[in-house]
Structure 1
Amino acid sequence: MGDKTEKTFRFVIVGGGIAGVTCVEQLSSQFPDAEVALITAASLVKAVANFKQVSKTLEEFDVEEQPSSVLEEKFPNLTVVQSAVKALNTHTHTVQTVDGRTFGYEKLCICSGGRPKLLTQGNPYVLGIRDTDSAQEFQKRLSKAKRIVVVGNGGIALELVYEVEGCEVIWAVKDKAIGNTFFDAGAAQFLIPSLEADKPEGATPCKRHRYTVEPAGASHTFTDEDRRGRGVGPTEPGSALGPDWHEGIVLRGAEEVSHRVSVEYQCEVDSIYTHQELLKSPQQTLVSEGGSWPVYVKLTNGKTFGCDFIVSATGVVPNTEPFLHGNNFALADDGGLRVDDHMMTSEPDVYAAGDVCTACWEHSPLWQQMRLWTQARQMGWYAGRCIAAHVLSEPIELDFCFELFSHITKFFSYKVVLLGKFNGQGLGPDHELLVRCTKGQEYIKVILSGGRMMGAVLIGETDLEETFENLILNQMDLTPYGEELLNPNIDIEDYFD
């Protein structure tokens, strides 16, 4: 694998995102005398800041980008190796980096995250937004754009279409409603007016996951040279963006319009043409009709749109590439490394956490994996604890955070809380919904099965998250309350204190 192992560490963690950094912090603090290495392709790492436990399972935190030296100063036993991983040999317990060095490990944790599922590779008019570099590239190109096409229906697409100003946005979603990953059609209808209205003046700054290109207190000022020197292109291994990736970035196009979004439902991209290709195709009439654009997108609903560029926001796939060759990792159907309830892969002494792995233990009936920031932090923290428990030969039980799915985020300036089987995932036809909606203020949906609450969606400042979390966790029979459960004139917290 390499000529010579440069150094053997007790613990090696691959990946400088939230899962990797959280795992590093856990192990470095628990074993101050053990040598720990973090191998990361990026010069900046992601760290959790301002962590707040909102309730038993709900947590809020900011995500900060820091130079890796900040981590090394905090943990004298930590060495940060700045390079991407080229290969792994689980037989010899060694990892080889792209810059030609080889490191040994006793225990390895793979936290290499996901890479974007781009619509097409190598097309200069298709941009995937994944890391800091691609977000800056997007900002630069948007400043000259009059119209963009956004393809995708997940978190980044939702944030993008809302934040972009001064540019027409055509939004192609494959589902019947926007935000299908997070909402049902009712919640989508509640949010749609926000897309059409002008945004509130001086909207309150977001207090959630924050990412800054220049971390507070960092002695080093990042220049463009530094950013270019990361060796991380849009499809190369770089740390994923936080849900507030657009904070502090001006997302403004070249037009005077403030906010113009058109949604094309139930369609995907059929083909992409450059201006020259379109002139030679049967679609060429579009050139004279709609002016001239650098690139054209034909959708499966038969419509074709010209635009300045296309944003591919169609999700990520687990970034397992450098680890598979020559090893025998068991992979899940989604391509992730299969891990058991101790975050162990099928290879000895190799663990995984975050987007690269797939939780293959028997899940709690109220939890599902969704590759979100909160889960990356929880898995990284738990993986660190599992590695520690195995090294010390101590028993460890599955962490409570895997009892109930819970997530706090923000879409279209509304607070959004998702709990349990919030979209009725896996419940089949045997469930009922209770919904309360006040236009422009709140949307509350509760999922009941057999009289017990299985999930909830809370949009707006409802203050019901803790009460509903308790009702889902204790599985109390709510049949006697019926529709009254969401009666706005009843203070539900008083019922269930």
Structure 2
Amino acid sequence: MADKIAKRSKFVVVGGGIAGVTCTEQLASQFPSDEIVLLTAAPLIKAVTNFKQVSKTLEDFDVEEQPSSILEEKYPNVKVIQSAVRQLQAKEHKLQMENGEEVHYEKLCLCSGGRPKLFIQDNPHVLGIRDIDSAKEFQKRLSEARRIVVIGNGGIALELVYEVEGCEVIWAVKDKAIGNTFFDAGAAQFLIPTLDTDKPERDAPYKRTRYTTDRAVPPGTSSTDGRVQDQNPKVELGSALGPDWHQGIKLRGVQEVSHSVHVEYQCEVQKIYTPEDFLLSQQARQPSSDPSSDTGLWPVYIQLTNGKTYGCDFIVSATGVRPNSGPFLSGNSFAVADDSGLRVDDHMRTSEPDVYAAGDVCTACWEPSPMWQQMRLWTQARQMGWYAARCMAADLLDEPIELDFCFELFAHMTKFFNYKVVLLGKFNAQGLGQDHDLLMRCTKGREYVKVVMREGHMMGAVLIGETDLEETFENLILNQMDLSAYGVDLLNPSIDIEDYFD
């Protein structure tokens, strides 16, 4: 048997998602004379493009899927190894690769992302949307669909139900309102009418280059973000979708309707039926007025915990992700958080020497700022990857480093239902209990503004629409100015608050 090929590098990064690529780019810039190794199992990586610092903490950027060769061309000292990780041996500072190579490191950063939490495994009628390839599969199946059922209430579900046209959508959420992860019931009520109206025309055609892959990863190997998959023949290939994943992908079914979304609240999946089982089941009997009553057979039926059963062409599982830490635990002594993430300190270090982690795979276990919380979002993946690289460099050079300012205030900017959405601080009063007050203003079809106040100090905010208040509110939260004297006038639209507090 041939000897294993051994490679040595000062810095090794596992995972071709945003955290991993950002970490690699930062290391390559700081150490231009050292080779930086990025391990990824697929030919596509995630790259941040069109980055813009909107304010002190708010960022705006695009996420683009690119061949890994583009990263090597941009940074000549980056070496991308396209292979899955078989095993990490942290004590020996080496990784065993599926291609037979051994990779030795001085400093390692694990950026293996998260894995989709499908509510059921190995069902051909249940589709999880994770990467561009699974999004393409969704597009293909949707093109022949009359009705789909979407399970979930996170970002992917919110974007999907709004974007789908020409197909009836049954949306099952376990909460009392849509978008519970991102905003409250008031914001949900502001957005709901958008589901019953035609979407506006796009301002311009989407011109960004798209890349696809032409192979599947065998069971037991890892995807673009370096994760080792379960023994499941339907393997997701790439890292998580970008915030504009639906751009340039036609999401249309066979019906003439533009927008048709029916929401079922406070329910989850109870059972999935084949057509044969459905006909035999006594539970399938529904009142004739129920929208789930059908005269013809559907490929699959889903029974919800509220007692309703719907036939559909297929089911979309958009129920979030879990940290993909499992592949690295065997034989090592990682401290793991309750959510399965690798515990990291304020230098992004895990409990294993010289092993760091960033992005969805890690759980921040330092004492956080009163205005910051971890949410597994694109902005935090980029920030953590960038900061992890700086910490790796500082530790190697024995230089001091302070926690980056981006961890002072939670700040996230995105778009839902074609509205700009900005979330700041404790935007949903996270951790405040009953010790807070809410101020709100709403202009139907235009804007929704909510601020979270505690003892006269602003703790968080939700801004939907073109409010132009994000920088002002960011300053008010960071400065913790006493606003008691303003009372409800703080959101009075006739008062130009920016002039007072910018």
TM (normalized to structure 2)? Answer: 0.93
CA–CA separation in structure 2 for the residues paired with 1:439 and 1:341: 42
Q: Name the structure 1 match of 2:228.
A: none
One-letter amino acid matched to 1:122: D
Correspondence for 2:202: 203
Cα distance, 1:59 vs structure 2:
0.6
Q: CA deviation at 1:279?
A: 2.8
State the partner residue of 1:155: 155
Residue number in structure 2 paired with 1:79: 79
Counterpart CA distance in 1 for 2:74 and 2:14 is: 19
Measured after TM superposition, the shift of residue 321 of structure 1 is: 2.2
Are residues 1:319 and 2:324 paired? yes
> Is 1:213 aligned with 2:199?
no
Q: Is the CA contact 1:14–1:109 (under 8 Å) kept in the aligned structure 2?
A: yes
Is 2:449 the partner of 1:444? yes
> Is 1:405–2:404 an aligned residue pair?
no
Equivalent position of 1:217 in the other structure = none
Q: Who is 1:16 aligned against?
A: 16
State the one-letter code of the partner of 2:160. Answer: L
Paired residues of 1:161 and 1:171 also in contact (CA < 8 A): yes
How many residue pairs get aligned? The number is 483
Is the contact made by 1:211 and 1:242 (CA closer than 8 Å) also made in structure 2? Answer: no
Corresponding residue for residue 46 of structure 2: 46
Cα distance per residue 1:65-103 (max 9 Å; x no partner): 111111111222211011221211101111122233221
Please report how far the alpha carbon of residue 4 of structure 1 lies from its aligned counterpart in structure 2 after TM superposition.
Answer: 3.4
> CA separation of 1:393/1:5 partners in 2, compared to 1, >3 Å: closer, same or farther?
farther
Give how far 1:203 is off: 3.5
- Residue 341 of structure 2 aligns with an amino acid whose one-letter code is G
- 1:458 to 1:289, Cα distance in 2 relative to 1, 3 A: closer
CA distance in 2 between counterparts of 1:234 and 1:206 reads 32
> Following the alignment from structure 2 to structure 1, what is the Cα–Cα distance between the partners of residues 472 and 279?
60
Pairs within 5 Å for 1:188-199: 188-199=188-199
Q: Superposition pairs for residues 44-193 of structure 1, below 5 Å?
A: 44-193=44-193
Moved more, 481-490 or 283-292: 283-292
Secondary structure of residue in 1 paired with 2:257: coil
**Which consecutive unaligned segments of at least 5 residues does structure 1 have?**
215-221
Quick check: 1:481 aligned with 2:486?
A: yes
| Residues 216, 237 of structure 2: 8 Å contact kept | no
Residue 121 of structure 1 aligns to a residue whose secondary structure is: coil
* Residue pair 1:115, 1:235 contacting (<8 A) in 2 also: no
Secondary structure in 1 aligned to 2:46? strand
1:167 aligned partner, one-letter code: C
What amino acid is aligned across from residue 456 of structure 1 in structure 2? A
Q: What amino acid sits opposite 1:227 in the alignment?
A: D
Amino acid at match of 1:45: I
Tell me which residue corresponds to 2:499.
494
SS in 2 for 1:189: helix
State how far apart, in whole Å, the 2-side matches of 1:206 and 1:494 are: 37
Residue 289 of structure 1 deviates from its aligned partner by 4.6
Q: Secondary structure at the match of 1:76?
A: coil
**CA shift digits 1:188-230 (9 cap, x unpaired):** 0000000011112x133599xx97424xxxxxxx5xxx43256
Q: Secondary structure at the match of 1:227?
A: coil
Aligned mates of 2:95, 2:453 — CA distance in 1:
48
Question: RMSD in angstroms over aligned alpha carbons?
Answer: 1.8
Q: Secondary structure at the match of 1:283?
A: helix
Residue matched to 2:298: 293
CA distance in structure 2 between the partners assigned to 1:288 and 1:363 by the alignment: 50
Question: Are residues 1:347 and 2:352 paired?
Answer: yes
Distance apart, 1:235 and its partner CA: 3.8
75 and 265 in structure 1: CA distance in 2 versus 1, 3 angstrom threshold: same
Q: Which structure 2 residues correspond to residues 383-402 of structure 1 after superposition, within 5 A?
A: 383-402=388-407
Once the two structures are TM-superposed, the CA of residue 285 in structure 1 deviates from its matched residue by 4.5
Contact 1:278 1:296 in 2 (8 A): yes
Aligned positions of 1:300-311 closer than 5 A? 300-311=305-316
**Alignment-derived partner of residue 230 in structure 2:** none
Residues 373 and 439 of structure 1: is their aligned pair in 2 closer, same or farther, counting only changes over 3 Å? same
> How has the CA–CA distance of structure 1 residues 284 and 264 changed in structure 2, closer, same or farther, with 3 Å as cutoff?
closer
- Displacement of 1:234: 5.6
For the residues of structure 1 that align with 2:48 and 2:135, how far apart are their CA atoms?
20
8 A Cα contact 1:129 1:234, kept in partner: no
Task: Measure how far apart 1:421 and its partner are.
Answer: 0.2
Matched residue, 2:252: 252
Residue type matched to 2:267 in 1?
Answer: C
Query: Which of 76-85 and 473-482 deviates more?
Result: 76-85
Shift of 1:396: 0.3
Q: What are the superposed Cα offsets for residues 37-85 of structure 1, whole Å, 9 maximum, x if unpaired?
A: 1001221111111110000000101111111111111222211011221
Where has structure 1 moved over 6 Å in runs of 4 or more? Answer: none
Unaligned segments of structure 2, at least 5 residues: 224-232, 287-291
Question: What letter corresponds to residue 313 of structure 2 in structure 1?
Answer: D
Aligned to 1:218: none
2:340 to 308, 326, 335: 335
Given the alignment of the two structures, is residue 278 of structure 1 paired with residue 278 of structure 2, yes or no?
yes
Question: Percent sequence identity over matched residues?
Answer: 73
Q: TM-score, normalised by structure 1?
A: 0.94
Contact 2:7 / 2:101 at 8 angstroms: preserved in 1?
A: no
Shift of 1:10: 0.9
CA distance in 2, matches of 1:235, 1:282: 35
2:215 corresponds to which residue?
228
Question: Kindly tell me: are residues 472 and 211 of structure 1, through their superposed partners in 2, closer, same or farther at Cα, counting changes over 3 Å?
Answer: farther
- 3-state DSSP class of the match of 1:490? coil
